[in-house]
Amino acid sequence: MSVVPLSVLDLSPVAAGSSGAAALRNSLDLARLAEALGFTRYWVAEHHNLPSIASSAPEIMIGQIAAATQHMRVGSGGVMLPNHAPLMVAERFKVLEALFPGRIDLGLGRAPGTDPVTSFALRRRQDGDDDFLERFQELILFESGAFPQGHPFRAVHAMPRDVPLPPIWLLGSSGYSAQLAALVGAGFSFAHHFAEHDAVSAMLSYREGFKPSAARGTPYAILACAVVCADTDAEAERLASTIDLNFVRRRSGEYLPLASPEEATAYPYSPADRALIARNRARLFAGSKETVLARLEPMAAATKADEIMVTTMLYDHGARRHSYELLAQAFGLQARGS
């Protein structure tokens, strides 16, 4: 019996010496495995101009993954709404819902998912204003058809009109995101894998402030965590060295594909680098399945998480597969028949 349901957040990691095409094919392979292992849902991210991440078009990957699986929910973790016209988001996800009814999730984020220059290339507003709420409201109005009389969009309908939008989730790494998700009555996913904000306070404030909506009557909170699980603690530490080097490089503005554990272990870290790694390691759950379970269980309890979503950014795809296999064993997931 699992402590909580487990799901996957996949960024399609690109390993040094490999390719983005291989990373995307690996995502399809991992999705098939995750479904067989009994994972609940599989979300793909939206990032741009990052050599270590191939996941730039979540809507396309959602369709491919849903077609390659049969039972799991598949969704975005998430679509960065400031990068897109709300009507386009509504139509793309209605098409997905039409093709895979009852299996699609629409996760929405406020961040650009990239650097400022690439953000400009994506045609985001550059006046410094956060227009997420405006875009979110527009998305909801396209779904409800509730634009006021005289509004230019009143006669515009997201097609196919007879297909509902999938369930909406708000993604966040702050208290603001938690409060917003509670206020609009949406599902909430907290990005513990990179957040500086305290996960416990954010998750509990969401639950306490939740206001039922037409789409959701009760709160549902997902805790997204970075996990590296291996046969031994020592092997997990070795694999996680890839994450250490990637974190140090990104903090210094150096963006490269994921390094091998051998390259990461040999890297000449400065004392400042090691301090950065130590800070990031506080958010990373690495170890054997017993070690990881012993750390994840109290975290899930403290945050009252309804579900844990796991992201595992490793150099070796086989090691990434095995990490999810071990997690499934640790949480007692029920494998599905082929």
CATH number of the domain that residue 192 is part of: 3.20.20.30
The secondary structure element, H or E, covering residue 234 is helix 233-251
- Structural Rg of the chain based on CA atoms: 20
Give the pLDDT of residue 121.
83
Give the pLDDT of residue 115.
81
- Is there a domain that residue 284 lies in? no
- Is there a domain that residue 193 lies in? yes
- Whether 17 has a pLDDT exceeding 90, the answer reads yes
- Whether 126 has a pLDDT exceeding 60, the answer reads no
**Pairing status of strand 187-191 against strand 221-229:** parallel
Tokens of 139: 């998305």
**Pairing status of strand 41-44 against strand 6-10:** parallel
- Is there a domain that residue 256 lies in? no
- Is there a domain that residue 279 lies in? no
- When pLDDT is averaged across residues 248-253 and rounded to a whole number, the result is 93
Q: What does the pLDDT look like over 181-205, one tens digit per residue?
A: 999 999 999 999 999 899 999 999 9
- Is there a domain that residue 184 lies in? yes
Q: What does the pLDDT look like over 236-250, one tens digit per residue?
A: 999 999 999 999 999
* pTM of the predicted model as reported, rounded to 2 decimal places: 0.95
Task: Tell me how far apart the alpha carbons of residues 252 and 156 are, in angstroms, rounded to a whole number.
Answer: 46
Q: How many domains does the chain have?
A: 1
317 is in which domain, residue-wise?
6-226+304-330
Q: What does the pLDDT look like over 90-125, one tens digit per residue?
A: 999 999 999 999 999 999 998 876 788 887 888 655
- Is there a domain that residue 204 lies in? yes
The secondary structure element, H or E, covering residue 324 is helix 317-330
Query: Which residue, among 159, 137, 130, 155, has the nearest Cα to 145 in the 3D structure?
Result: 155
Give the pLDDT of residue 336.
83
- Whether 263 has a pLDDT exceeding 50, the answer reads yes
> Are the C-beta atoms of residues 336 and 36 closer than 8 Å to each other?
yes
- Is there a domain that residue 264 lies in? no
- Is there a domain that residue 295 lies in? no
Task: Tell me how far apart the alpha carbons of residues 46 and 107 are, in angstroms, rounded to a whole number.
Answer: 10
DSSP one-letter code for 154: T
**DSSP for 250-297, written as a single string:** HHTT---SBPPHHHHHHS---HHHHHHHHHHHTTEEEESHHHHHHHHH
- When pLDDT is averaged across residues 151-173 and rounded to a whole number, the result is 96
Task: Tell me how far apart the alpha carbons of residues 198 and 178 are, in angstroms, rounded to a whole number.
Answer: 11
Q: What does the pLDDT look like over 30-45, one tens digit per residue?
A: 999 999 999 999 999 9
- Whether 65 has a pLDDT exceeding 50, the answer reads yes
> Are the C-beta atoms of residues 82 and 131 closer than 8 Å to each other?
yes
In the chain, the DSSP E strands lie at: 6-10, 41-44, 73-76, 79-80, 104-109, 168-172, 187-191, 221-229, 284-287, 307-311
**231 Cβ partners below 8 Å, 6+ apart?**
288, 322, 326
